[in-house]
Amino acid sequence: MIFPEECKYVGLATTKPLGEKVYFLSRWLIRETDEGPEVLAVSLADGDELMREVKAGWVLATPEETAVWPEPVNINDRSRLLRLASESGKRCTIFTSPDESRTFVFDPEPGSFLTVHVYDIVPPRAHLAAVLEELEATGLFGDLNVTFEYHIRDIRDLEAEVYPCRAGGFDRTLDADRLEGNERVAGCLTARQFCAENYGDGIEIAEICPLTQVAEEPFIARCCRGEREGVGVWNEKYGGVVHWGASPHTIDLVLRRMLEEWREDEGRGRSG
């Protein structure tokens, strides 16, 4: 697969105002032909000039092998571009940004991006999953070369008598109702502590913490215990943990730290 890291390495070569000279950062060129666009790979002459002679060039993708995505896209959302290129039916797909920058994906390999497993729950809103989707759409994770696989558990399936809070739309909740002391409560370590302190040991807790769901690595999960936030091993799997209402900035920091450590060790032995 060839997928330029940044659009600055992709130039347009339909016209030649300076002959065979192109901008010094160019590694690939998109050129319009009578049959459609083609993509060229180029090697440039050494020098200090902004515009440099093409020392060697060859056709990477012919017009017959190339598709042009019909709508402008955020070219920093690399996981989406990889997915779209895989669906285009052509070896090469050219994408254009709203500011008319260009990039392309040649011989897409969806499995070449690292999959990060995301563990969260609903209701209410799956905060971690939602923030990751929003940030990914902005292109913030474009440099990470990752895709996300979401594991979102619906805690309504537990059919508990009591749930943690009214925010989830439940009728009986720990934050608003007095319990009798023998109910089945959907909760986590915090709920266990709360119930033990206020109602004794007669309450059954149906576990809902996303961390208890972790079965794949690397992962990122949400937890209401602030002391767990950071990077480490849970359920013998390596990943990152963010607090229940973590900011986008914190989520990005934990994700990047986790991926940096995972890749330093190439994903081996972290959970062993």
Spell out the SS3 assignment of the chain. CECCCCHHHEEECCCCCCCCEEECCCCEEEEEECCEEEEEEEEECCCCCCEEEEEEEEEEECHHHEEECCCCCCCCCHHHHHHHHHHCCCCEEEEECCCCCEEEEECCCHHHCEEEEEEEEECCCCHHHHHHHHHHHHCCCCCCCEEEEEEEEEHHHHCCCEECCHHHCCCCECCCCCCCCCCEEEECHHHHHHHHHHHCCCCEEEECCHHHHCCCCCEEEEECCHHHCEEEEECCEEEEEEECCCCHHHHHHHHHHHHHHHHHCCCCCCCC
Question: What pLDDT, on a 0 to 100 scale, did the predictor assign at position 151?
Answer: 98
Confidence at residue 157, expressed as pLDDT on a 0 to 100 scale: 93
Burial class of residue 227 (count of CB atoms within 10 Å of its CB; 0-12, 13-18, 19+): exposed
Domain-by-domain residue ranges, the chain?
Answer: 7-108, 113-266
Distance, first Cα to last Cα, the chain: 32
pLDDT digits (tens, 9 = 90+) for 24-69: 999 999 999 999 999 999 999 999 999 999 999 999 999 999 999 9
**pLDDT at res. 39:** 98
Name the stretches of the chain with pLDDT < 50.
270-272
Backbone torsions φ then ψ of 9, nearest 5 degrees: -90, 0
Q: What is the pLDDT of residues 194-209, one digit of tens each?
A: 999 999 888 999 999 9
Residues paired with residue 22 on neighbouring β-strands, in sequence order: 52
